[in-house]
Amino acid sequence: MSDSKETREQLLRENEELRRQVAALQTNPALLASELRYRRLFETAKDGILILDAGTGQIVDVNPFLTKLTGYSREDFLNKHLWDIGPFKDLAASQTSFEALQANEYIRYEDLPLEARDGRKITVEFISNVYQVSGTKVIQCNIRDITERKQAETALRDSEERFRLAAQMATDVIYERDMRTGLAVYYGGDIDGILGFPPGGFPRDLEGISDLVHPDDATVVAKAFIEYQAIGKPYRVELRVRRADGGYNTFIDKARLVFDEKGLPLKWIGACTDISEKVKAEAAVREHQKKLQEQNELLQQRSAALRELVEQLKTEQRTLEAKVRANIDQLIRPVLQNAKESSQLTKIKGFLEIIDENLRGITSSFGTAIENEWDSLSRREVEVSQLIRDGLSSKRIAELLGISYRSVTAHRRNIRRKLGLKARKINLPTYLRKFK
């Protein structure tokens, strides 16, 4: 019975307070307008709002946004303590937290996890302030849904972590430069180790980096950057960067600008691929191809000389065969015929001696010695002749004998002159190969 009486008295007091407030509003149009504005803001706010009695901690008002966010009705909130409501049960053991709020008149939770009636997980920012309304202290709790922001932040952290791990494992050097300061604010990849610098030794400022770019490549880099800014041509350059030991590594650098909300250059983000080993391999291939080409040309020269020698031998063989036949016809056959017709042994013996002598004369051309011709050559010319006969080029002969290319050319002219080949179109290597 006493509880019913107390409840009745409380309702009467609240009714009287409402009447007083209505009367005050009616007599003060400005205050009424302000109350209407506040109510409109309260009802349409995109943050949840709770109004608590500062003395008892009971909820006296809740806006529609919070009921929609949590799935709890207005009736579920009113005249309840905050820690009695499902989503806020875990709010710092509540009674102690409420007492701290009463004492400090302010409390804030950055990342407060809530659970809606349907089981949804919500992350909110919770801020409570104590202030006076018509001489009475009330607590206003502003509850902002930051679930999407926290999800975005988590996704960003995960993305950055994946990017960091990928950059560490990648063979490329990924970098980011602040366009306002010119400083490299990030390097993914061991740029210091690649270029032989101690940790942090590779320059981070634009001037220091530019000093390490090969002078022949600096203009190419500047031109590529200007074309990228002016006409949007993709930035991709091959450049050499000086190592700590003074040598150079070759990189392919690809990058692009990132602009701020005003359209001004903010960041220069790129990736450098070290292609030094590839460049060395390509140079080795080119050198090998050059040597193969030289060997091929030498083989072609030798093949041509061999063909010429074969043709020359065939011609000489035909000439020799013709001379032999002619000599036999002239010197042997007539004597043989006389021997056949003679019946005297002494005459036959004489004919045989003539045949023997004539055969010696015919075959004496096969034994012609070249030594007589070589006697006219100097020792150096003999050395040059032997190397020419072996198919070596003038350049190679000069390298072997330690003389100049011009000296070898002069020796070749003298050799042709002394062997009687100066005015004759005869290949010198081919001619020399006829002799031992």
Render pLDDT for 145-163 as a digit per residue (tens, 0 to 9): 988 888 888 887 877 676 6
Among the candidates 274, 308, 329, a domain finishes at 274
Q: Which of 103, 102, 105, 92 is nearest to 57 (CA)?
A: 102
The CATH number of residue 70's host domain is 3.30.450.20
Pair 20, 125 in one domain: yes
Distances (CA, A) of 244 to 207, 212, 215: 16, 9, 16
Pair 268, 300 in one domain: no
Summarize pLDDT for 45-67 with one digit per residue, the tens: 889 998 888 888 888 899 999 99
Pair 19, 115 in one domain: yes
Strands 235-242 and 248-259, sheet pairing: antiparallel
SS3 (DSSP) at 259: strand
Quick one: pLDDT at residue 319?
A: 85
Quick one: pLDDT at residue 104?
A: 73
Strands 136-145 and 173-178, sheet pairing: unpaired
Quick one: pLDDT at residue 4?
A: 58
325: containing domain: 281-367
Beta-strand ranges (E) seen in 19-120 are 48-53, 59-62, 106-115
Among the candidates 345, 367, 389, a domain finishes at 367
CA 92 to chain centre: 53
**């975005």: which residue's tokens?**
152
**């509003």: which residue's tokens?**
25
Pair 374, 404 in one domain: yes
**Confidence band of 374 (pLDDT split at 50, 70, 90):** low
Residues of the chain with pLDDT > 70, as a percent, come to 73
209 in any annotated domain: yes
Pair 235, 302 in one domain: no
Strands 48-53 and 59-62, sheet pairing: antiparallel
Q: Which of 175, 197, 194, 178 is nearest to 186 (CA)?
A: 175
155 in any annotated domain: no
Q: Above 50 in pLDDT, residue 408?
A: yes
d(CA 43, CA 74): 12
54-59 long-range contacts, CB within 8 A, separation 24+ = 54/102, 54/130, 54/136, 54/137, 54/138, 54/139, 55/137, 57/81, 57/82, 57/98, 57/139, 59/85
136 in any annotated domain: yes
Q: Which of 73, 79, 86 is nearest to 7 (CA)?
A: 79
Domains identified in the chain, total number: 4
Pair 230, 262 in one domain: yes
